[in-house]
Structure 1
Amino acid sequence: MLKTYNGISDLNFSVGHPLQVEDFGELKPIFVDPPIEALTPHQTEQIALSLMQGNRRLIYDYLTGGSCDSSYSLSDEARFRVNIFRQQGHFSVVLRKLQSE
């Protein structure tokens, strides 16, 4: 997926929307098999909790402030700044791709 979009800056996971990337400033759906036409509250919650990895500080920040920030690394392919926040009462996640060395 990361190689498909040259100008990718963000990966977006929001309830009621398909998986999306921001590619050169434009949100574009990601096509996966089987297709996901719109993420459910359960799916976005599972993504968010997986990224939190049981980290108490992240969970506390989310519960008390409505958001938390972290980082995520995908082997040697990419690094991301992670923002997990509450949107319309549900988890939403944005992964901002960081420059690789």
Structure 2
Amino acid sequence: MTIRKLALMLCAGALLAGCEIGPDKSIDRGIDSDDLSTMKAGIWVDPNGCDHWIIDDGVEGYLSQRLDKYGKPVCSGIAPPTIATGDFKGGATSIIGDPL
């Protein structure tokens, strides 16, 4: 094994050693901490016409692309582009509320 290969393997090992699993993103860790599965989601349609899940709890907001079982975007046509629909503010906190 050459010194170059050995050096590359050591660098790769050092980089991977610094990797760790990130925080659980399915839980709201804000003022009114709660599991996101208990909040009501709506759908926001992006400018291309594809759906995104949206949740607004009054302090934080959550958005993720809606995907089918093959990982492809869902573009249902449920609303015009750039419009949000559904009870996505249903998880809003009563402590602070949403001024809009």
- TM-score, normalised to structure 2's length? 0.29
State which structure, 1 or 2, has the greater radius of gyration over its C-alpha atoms: 2
Structure with more strand by fraction? 1
- TM-score, normalised to structure 1's length? 0.29
